Structure 1
Amino acid sequence: MEKLGESLKKLLLIGIGTAAVTAEKSKEVLDDLVKKGELTVEQGKVLNKELKHNIKETLKDNVNVSVKASTPEELQTLLEKMTPEQIEQLKQQISNMEQTTEEKTETVESEEAPAEATEDAPDAEEAADAE
């Protein structure tokens, strides 16, 4: 289990390192363009912010690490490492999952209710025989 935790830790560090290196390289390229006079400083700042945002979005979309905590202590440790933004996203995901589960439960219950009513009602043949 420790090897799995170490592997996940390395995977997360690789993703973070990649994002950092990409951000650094993009800043260097922008600085070079500014020096050459091809971009103004303001355009470079805006472009750099856009690149950082795009990198973050790409990482969120493409890097999916699932961590299975087998004990409450491990889960607590994971939660302590999360940023407030990540915790807020986790809360939102939990809320969405709860709503989805409730909707599925309501759908299943509504589909079962007519079936039970049909089973409880006497058949038309039985009603005719009773007359």
Structure 2
Amino acid sequence: MRLFDHLGVSVDDLPRSIAQFDPVMQALGCERQDADGSVSWSKGEDELILFPARVGESGPHRHGRVGWQHLAFPVSSRDEVDRLHAIAIDAGWTAVREPKLYPRFNDRYYASFVEDDNGIRFEFMHNPPREPAAAD
């Protein structure tokens, strides 16, 4: 059984958030589904849903406070991290951390962090497996 089925996120301005999320989610290979009062993107059985906040103008979320921290998307290459980062920036996300290596995690971990107008933070990351040691 999967660990997660879907992730729901509340946003202040649903149309503005759709404009920011849609290019990124499409670039990740997700399919969009519009519904009354929400929109979702899915890839296989995984789904991300945006809902309008029940209390208007209650955002943005502040990173580091109780609640949402970030959502990391594993991708196939450093070039893909760079590409997704650029797509997010073009869609109005703010760069929190430009694409770079994160040796504090390991010497292969390459990632970028972006944040939307609601304070929702995404990480695009490439962390290839360690090369197996050569047999003697």
TM-score (norm 1): 0.30
More strand by share: 2
Q: 1 or 2 for the larger relative contact order (CA 8 Å, sep ≥6)?
A: 2
TM-score by length of 2: 0.29
